[in-house]
């Protein structure tokens, strides 16, 4: 019986933004534990590279989709179910940010673009997953948030607002879906060494300034985020819901 609750063999997970960065690392490790994975992204060339990297054969499905568009989301889930005939977990990993001016000086179009990609897209995907999971009386929804949700930072205002909305959405969905044996949780990382944040960590002076605010003395690597995601995606977390696990090396405790 040892380790049985961490067994995700033959379960099916949909990872949004799974063609690179944290999402690709999550997909790789889900596959390594015997799961089947559908990944989505907007650029076909990134998806093609991801499939080649993952080498999962029939256990990997790549789908081009923009999760802020309801029609794309509908097709995304249809294709996932058509290929695997089940869905056990959704990993909401898509995130985007554009360095923005102060809110009072922000163009509404820029606001909409960031909110749609982060918050609206998470809502649309979670809504579709919830409908499937309610029928089967089982499911896991795990969303990647950010410590930007709880700390205002220059240039990150709209992104932080979107992520704060995601954390409240997690609580609301967890409450609504608990009677259906569906757990909904969140991971809030600090800066992670991916292409998404390269502007910051590739600048040595800026990187050192950021690291000074992290008691563990480094920014996160993608695998640091994968570990808690795998836990929340497995049956080991059956009695955990509506929570946000902060993975920041202690950055928010100082």
Q: What is the mean pLDDT of the chain?
A: 94
Question: Which pLDDT value is given to residue 7?
Answer: 87
The pTM of this model reads: 0.95
Question: How do residues 85-109 score in pLDDT, each as one tens digit?
Answer: 999 999 999 988 888 888 888 899 9
Active site residues: 159
User: How does strand 244-247 pair with strand 12-16?
Assistant: unpaired
Instruction: Kindly list the domain boundaries of the chain, sorted by start residue.
Output: 4-191+221-244
Average pLDDT estimate for 54-77 = 97
Q: Residue 45: phi, psi to the nearest 5? A: -65, -35
DSSP state of 5: G
Q: Residue 247: phi, psi to the nearest 5? A: -120, 85
Question: Which pLDDT value is given to residue 254?
Answer: 80
Can you identify the CATH homologous superfamily of domain 4-191+221-244?
NAD(P)-binding Rossmann-like Domain (3.40.50.720)
Q: Is the pLDDT of residue 44 over 60?
A: yes
């Amino acid at each position: 019986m040892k380790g049985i609750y961490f067994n995700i063999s033959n379960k099916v997970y949909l990872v949004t933004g799974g063609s690179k960065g944290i999402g690709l690392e999550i997909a790789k490790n889900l596959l390594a534990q015997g799961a089947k994975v559908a990944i989505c992204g907007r650029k076909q060339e990134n998806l093609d590279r991801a499939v080649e990297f993952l080498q999962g054969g029939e256990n990997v499905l790549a789908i081009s989709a923009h999760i802020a568009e309801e029609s794309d989301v509908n097709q995304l889930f249809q294709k996932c179910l058509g290929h695997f005939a089940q869905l056990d977990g959704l990993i909401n990993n898509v995130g985007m940010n554009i360095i923005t001016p102060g809110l009072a000086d922000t163009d509404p179009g820029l606001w909409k673009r960031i909110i749609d990609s982060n918050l609206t897209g998470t809502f649309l995907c979670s809504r579709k997953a919830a409908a499937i999971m309610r029928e089967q009386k089982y499911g896991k929804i795990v969303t990647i948030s950010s410590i930007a949700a709880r700390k205002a930072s220059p240039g990150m205002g709209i992104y932080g607002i979107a992520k704060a909305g995601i954390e409240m959405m997690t609580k609301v969905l967890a409450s609504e879906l608990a009677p259906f044996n569906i757990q909904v949780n969140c991971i809030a990382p600090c800066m992670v060494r991916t292409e998404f944040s390269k502007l910051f960590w590739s600048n040595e002076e800026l990187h050192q300034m950021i690291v000074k605010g992290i008691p563990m003395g480094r920014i996160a690597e993608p695998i640091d985020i994968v570990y808690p995601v795998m836990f929340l995606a497995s049956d080991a977390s059956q009695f955990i819901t509506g929570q946000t696990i902060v993975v920041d090396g202690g950055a928010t405790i100082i």
